[in-house]
Amino acid sequence: MATLANIAVGSQVWVADPDDAWVDGEVFEVSGNEVKVICTSGKTVNAKVSNIFPKDAEASPCGVDDMTKLAYLHEPGVLQNLRSRYDMNEIYTYTGSILIAVNPFRKLPHLYNTHMMEQYKGATFGELSPHVFAVADAAYRLMINEGVSQSILVSGESGAGKTESTKMLMRYLAYMGGRAAAEGRTIEQKVLESNPVLEAFGNAKTVRNNNSSRFGKFVEIQFNQRGKISGAAIRTYLLERSRVCQVSDPERNYHCFYMLCAAPPEDIERYKLANPRTFHYLNQTNCYELDGVDESKEYLQTRRAMEVVGISTEEQDAIFRVVAAILHLGNIEFSEGKETDSSTPKNKKSWFHLQTAADLLMCDENALEKSLCERVIVTRDENITKTLDPEAAVLSRDALAKVIYSRLFDWLVNKINSSIGQDPHSKSLIGVLDIYGFESFKTNSFEQFCINLTNEKLQQHFNQHVFKMEQEEYTKEEINWSYIEFIDNQDVLDLIEKKPGGIIALLDEACVLPRSTHETFAQKLYQTYKNHKRISKPKLSRSDFTIHHYAGDVTYQTELFLDKNKDYVIAEHQSLLSVSKCSFVAGLFPTLAEDSAKSSKFSSIGSRFKQQLQALLETLSTTEPHYIRCVKPNNLLKPAVFENHNVLQQLRCGGVMEAIRISCAGYPTRRTFDEFIDRFGILAPGVLDGSCDEITASKRLLEKIGLEGYQVGKTKVFLRAGQLAELDSRRVEVLGRSARIIQRKARSYLARRSFILLRKATLQLQASCRGYLARELYENMRRDAASLMIQRNFHKYVARKAYKGLLSASVTIQAGIRGMAARKELLFRRQTKAAIVIQSHCRQYLARLHYSRIKKAAITTQCAWRARMARKELKNLKMAARETGALQAAKNKLEKQVEELTWRLQLEKRMRVDMEDAKSLENAKLQSALHEMQQECKETKALLVKEKESARRAAEEAANLRVVPVIDTPLMDKLTAENEKLKALVSSLEKKIDETEQKFEEASRLSEERLKKALEAESKMHQLNNSMQSLKEKLSDMETENQVLRQQSLLNSPIKPMSEHLAITTTPMKHDLENGQFKSVEAKEPQTAPPAIKDYAISSKLTIPNAERQHESVDALFNCVVKNIGFSNGKPVAALTIYKCFLHWKSFESEKTSVFDRLIQTIGTAIENDESYDHLAYCLSNTTALLFLLQKSLRAAGSAPRRKTPPPTSLFGRMTQGFRSSPSSVNLSVDGLDLVVRQVEAKYPALLFKQQLTAYVEKIYGIIRDNMKKDLTHLLTLCIQAPRTAKSSMLRGSSRSGSFGHSGQTSHWQSIIESLNNLLKTLQQNYVPAALIQKVFTQVFSFINMQLFNSLLLRRECCSFSNGEYVKAGLADLELWCAQAKPEYAGTAWEELKHIRQAVGFLVIFQKYRISYDDIVNDLCPVLSVQQLYRICTQYWDDKYNTQSVSSSVLSSMRILMTEDSNTAVSNSFLLDDNSSIPFSVDDISSSLQEKDFVDVKPAEELLQNPAFHFLQD
């Protein structure tokens, strides 16, 4: 609480509120011991100083993950911190080592996936965000490291999430201690699957929870010395048996009843079930279904879980028979019998259910009726049979149902324990306790009494643990703590369980007495404890009593205490079910010996539960406890609703407030020295002179302040309650004085600046006025001068304009007249020309129209016919494709098409040649005719010239003669006719010449078109040849794969060496020397050595020296290639040498060989012996090159080889061959590539060797990539968080610390750069293909992105402004490295860092509160998901400029979207996953290399000196 000295006007405080429990506000007025507070809600509250608490004005709006870090550890501070984190979907919060879990009432699968478990695996407690996995991991690590058993206590009220938290704990422990299943189910699987089984039979819907555990559970998980789960045991406590028969609205009975009613039809018919509404034990409430729960699916899942935990199918059927029998028992109604106080089943329906229950329990129907309606009283002399009235019969029926269900539940627990098994040699265990929380209802019965007793015991254990932790903290810091006290609740425990005289003892006594009732029991309590401070009697009740628990007062109703405390089975029920024909039912009720039955004393549930509780606490006392307090934020069971009063009550009931009270009794405020100096250094600036260390400076600071009662430890300053508020008040005063000084200086500065600006403005105004007057005078003078000039120019302009107008008019008239005449002439000529053009175009159009119609009709007909044929062909192809030989048919058809096209092409070319010959002859004839016509024309023209000349001379001579009027009319007519004939002949010759030229042009055009068609047909023929060849290759590959698969399917062990697959049979074989070994005539034993050695003994034709030389050649090859023989012209020598030797020895074509096995073993041994980057890169380069050569060379056996084109016989064929041999198509043999790569027909060993070599390429690549990731993991953990700088750094004094810190910041990033450079240099020196180098660095950068981004999301201290700048500088170094490495090697590696780049870019942006959600999603961080953005925004804190994160509206938008995502689909994890796949294929390797690169590669010099390897020089 606050003190008057710490309260001043303007102080931020918390004040009690009846609606919200606590509200914050500002002190407006202080009057004596009372203050007036203006709340943030707007209302004004008057309160006493002792009833208000100080508020930390500098607290983060996002809260803290550990509430021990709060400046003020009190109720409102804790409540506000939990609410702030809950609003951000942070459901976990630490209070020291205690984890508080607030139920979100929504599924959050991203918080509990395997990737999240990997993040918390081995992490220091408190290093990552609070999580249930962190508690489990801490317990597991303590057990492994210290060998001490651990326990995790999960508590909370119904609906707080205890069951789910327990599931997550068990999942994580199974993940850490799990192992691969050798035979059957593993222990961890059985432990996990026991949860749904126990939930089905022990959980039910209550008012507060849809899946409330109605029993307590303690799971002991045993571990061996290696930390693996070796055994487990489950203990249950206090099953609520009364729920079987009595259910209040709107609760439900146990889940198993509803699951069975929703079972498959055959099960329902077998058990004679119906709708749950028809059964009395289920229809006492109106709730039959749960939202989002499918009972039929739950039934099947429960049966699968029962199978996993070891319950057989027969036992499952028996279990559900018993459950169905209980339902039928509940439907038996009774009416009065014939005798007095007797009863009998009421009607036929009751008799039906009685018979069904008897059939299901496999007992006698009449015996069942008697056991329900009669009682046998045993006396000394005789047995007396007493009939029961209907009410007593109903009670007997319910008692039978309850005891059957209780025995069934106990059997399930025992069966699960026996199936899982316990490890007698285990010395360490982890226990998980899922126990009910403190309960206080309107009606509290015996169950609530036992539950609250449990919580009292556990609270005492909790208080002792918290006090022990406080003592350990003070002892570690070496401070005085002897005067610290804490309140114990032992008096309440003595009140309840003390013997004799305790409440349980009095209850057992009342149960033994025959005439005792709940009223006599209550009166006994009142008399015994009338002066006890922990128990009291309510005023208006005669049988109730109130106990003052640590969590509050609870009033208990004793009406059913005696009945619920009795733990016995009615003798008639025992005798009935013990003789059941069903062995399972009989096993639930074993027959008791008469002596033990007679000597057995009264047993009560309360006493037995007290013993179980005592055993539990003894077990917990031997373990190191860990606490998880589950909190239900609201009673509506809805997400995003936080009720302060409800949560506060649960914190009190859960002991969290008691732990805080214990902490406040000592030194609740603890600050490290640097934090203390950073916050309160302004109270004594003199201590920050750098002359002393932090501890001395803190002591001087406290002494100068004059504070008393504090303690200075080894690493922290410990302050008593209220001292931090006092320091804060002094700090506020210092800051207030500083603010007033700053205000005074600022106001003086503003006034002086205003005066200077005013004087400056006055001078400027005067100068402006004087300048204005001078400019006005000057303007008038300029205006006069301008007027004179304007008049003069105007007069001149008017005169000139008049003259120009007259001149222009004259010229315009002349031009118009001349233009009109010219236009008339032009119009006439244009009309004449247009008429001619129209006539020519019209004739041309008519001719073209006729031609185009004919052509279009022909094309349409051809297209229709071809389309019909194509559809028919397509249909045939589709039908053929469904058959097995589709590819073969396609190949044959393509061959026919090629032959047909070849024939057509030859025919077309032959026709073209013939047509060209005919055209040439016709052209020659036309040319000769043209030449003759031209000669005739010339002669005619010459004759006409002569005649004109003679006529002219005759006219001249006639002019000199006398005119004689003689008219020779016939002669004139004759001459005129001849002249016309000559003119007609000339015109006809001209027409023939034009027609000939047109025909010649048309013939040339047709020839060009046919030549073009011929070339197109030739290209199409080449394409068809290529497609046919590719189909052949695909067909051969498929045949080879089928052959390989058939052979592999016949083998029993596919991972055996190749030589075992290819064991030599007894079939006689021809003797031949190839493949680097001999083929034997007969083999009588499996091939375990190289065949060259075996064949040596039985060879009849070859000599011993030849076999030895062959064996020596193989040995020499492998002895050479195991060494690093380097590279030649950038290609590995070893790969090419091995390839040439195998090619020369014809190993690829061999049916049986062992050289491939030997090479594979050599590669594997080389990788295992040396995993350095240089050696792995050398192996990767060689295996990649060899795989490339095999890919280019090997052809599957049985595939058709490429057929050579037959030599052409026709002229056209020879022309085509000439075209093919043109320089445009280069033959491979010209480049000499056939000398390196030669296609061979590979057999099964070669194809298997190729697959194994591919696997080794992928394995070596993965080793290099994973080793690089391991090297970078430690450096990345150091790079994610910048070294902290604070005011206390001034105490360290020198400037060199700054330079050292800077170098330390960059050294980690430089180490990463150096690692990348070394790897790149190594890969380049070993000539690894650039494509593989790109893939390596792409995946490495993806790993860097994943590590940095996940660490940023999981650690709040990393989401700061300065840390963003630090990481951004490191990313800039990586970007520079990518630029220097060039895209040839870096590829798209920089793009893999997009998540961390955008996240860091967001951290270093100023004024985040002004950024909208759309700006963030579309511009700043388009790659990040809503969950990731929300986590970054809520965890962000500015340690440099103290700015705020994004606005509350942006956070609200993100929460809405996250809620929608969680409602519509399963939310994805906000963490990134690592990609460990192989990102390339054999085709990628083939495309990255070229065959011509291997032409100039020289073989190994060592082998060239060996005569057996002279073939390498060829």
- For 1160-1180, the pLDDT digits (tens) are 888 888 888 777 889 899 999
Q: Nearest Cα to 656, choosing from 466, 441, 432, 440?
A: 466
Query: What does the alpha-carbon distance between residue 680 and residue 702 come to, in Å, rounded to a whole number?
Result: 10
Residue 158, annotated as binding a ligand: yes
The b-or-e profile of 965-977 (16+ CB within 10 A means b, else e) is eeeeeeeeeeeee
What pLDDT, on the 0 to 100 scale, is given for residue 1044? 54
Residue 157, annotated as binding a ligand: yes
Q: First CA to last CA across the chain, in angstroms?
A: 98
Query: What does the alpha-carbon distance between residue 677 and residue 692 come to, in Å, rounded to a whole number?
Result: 13
Q: Is 13 helix (H, G, I), strand (E, B) or coil?
A: strand
Query: What does the alpha-carbon distance between residue 851 and residue 854 come to, in Å, rounded to a whole number?
Result: 5
Adjacent-strand bridge partners of 671: 717
Query: What does the alpha-carbon distance between residue 787 and residue 847 come to, in Å, rounded to a whole number?
Result: 79
Query: What does the alpha-carbon distance between residue 965 and residue 967 come to, in Å, rounded to a whole number?
Result: 6
- List Cβ neighbours of 1495 (8 Å cut-off, separation of 6 or more): 1231, 1232, 1233, 1235, 1236
593 DSSP 8-state letter: P
254 DSSP 8-state letter: B
Instruction: Return the H-helix or E-strand segment holding 1073.
Output: strand 1073-1074
Residues tagged active-site:
158-159, 163, 209, 212-213, 437, 439
What pLDDT, on the 0 to 100 scale, is given for residue 1492? 67
Adjacent-strand bridge partners of 343: 336
Adjacent-strand bridge partners of 1437: 1360
Query: What does the alpha-carbon distance between residue 1154 and residue 1248 come to, in Å, rounded to a whole number?
Result: 12
Residue 162, annotated as binding a ligand: yes
Query: What does the alpha-carbon distance between residue 306 and residue 323 come to, in Å, rounded to a whole number?
Result: 15
Tally helices (H) and strands (E) across the chain: 46, 30
Query: What does the alpha-carbon distance between residue 377 and residue 571 come to, in Å, rounded to a whole number?
Result: 10
Q: What is the Cα Rg of the chain in Å?
A: 52
CA 1407 to chain centre: 31
The residue to which tokens 């109903």 are assigned: 394
| Under 8 Å between Cβ of 1096 and 1104 | yes
What pLDDT, on the 0 to 100 scale, is given for residue 281? 94
What pLDDT, on the 0 to 100 scale, is given for residue 1208? 45
Q: Nearest Cα to 1287, choosing from 675, 732, 672?
A: 675
CA dihedral (1139, 1143, 1146, 1149) positive or negative:
positive
Helices (H), 1355-1407: 1361-1386, 1394-1403
Spans in the chain with pLDDT lower than 50: 4-5, 180-184, 595-601, 961-967, 1049-1104, 1200-1234, 1285-1290, 1292-1303, 1465-1467
What pLDDT, on the 0 to 100 scale, is given for residue 260? 94
Q: Which two tokens stand for residue 80?
A: 């506000």
What pLDDT, on the 0 to 100 scale, is given for residue 1486? 78
CA 205 to chain centre: 34
Amino acid at 695: I
Residue 974, annotated as binding a ligand: no
Query: What does the alpha-carbon distance between residue 1456 and residue 1109 come to, in Å, rounded to a whole number?
Result: 81
What pLDDT, on the 0 to 100 scale, is given for residue 484? 56
| Under 8 Å between Cβ of 211 and 592 | no
| Under 8 Å between Cβ of 1470 and 110 | yes
Residue 160, annotated as binding a ligand: yes
What pLDDT, on the 0 to 100 scale, is given for residue 1191? 85
Residue 1164, annotated as binding a ligand: no
What pLDDT, on the 0 to 100 scale, is given for residue 1106? 55
What pLDDT, on the 0 to 100 scale, is given for residue 276? 93
Q: Which long-range contacts (CB under 8 A, 24 or more apart) does 657-661 make?
A: 657/75, 657/78, 658/459, 658/462, 658/463, 658/466, 658/550, 659/95, 659/96, 659/98, 659/462, 659/463, 659/466, 660/73, 660/74, 660/75, 660/78, 660/95, 661/486
Q: Residue 39: left (phi > 0), alpha (psi -120 to 50), or beta?
A: beta
The residue to which tokens 């070294």 are assigned: 1283
- List Cβ neighbours of 758 (8 Å cut-off, separation of 6 or more): none
Task: Kindly tell me the burial class for residue 1278, based on how many C-beta atoms sit within 10 Å of its own C-beta (0-12, 13-18, 19 or more).
Answer: middle
Residue 161, annotated as binding a ligand: yes
Q: Is 1347 helix (H, G, I), strand (E, B) or coil?
A: helix
Amino acid at 32: G
Phi, psi of 1274 (to 5 degrees): -65, -40
Query: What does the alpha-carbon distance between residue 693 and residue 498 come to, in Å, rounded to a whole number?
Result: 57
Residue 552, annotated as binding a ligand: no
CA angle 570, 575, 578 (to 5 degrees): 115
| Under 8 Å between Cβ of 16 and 22 | yes
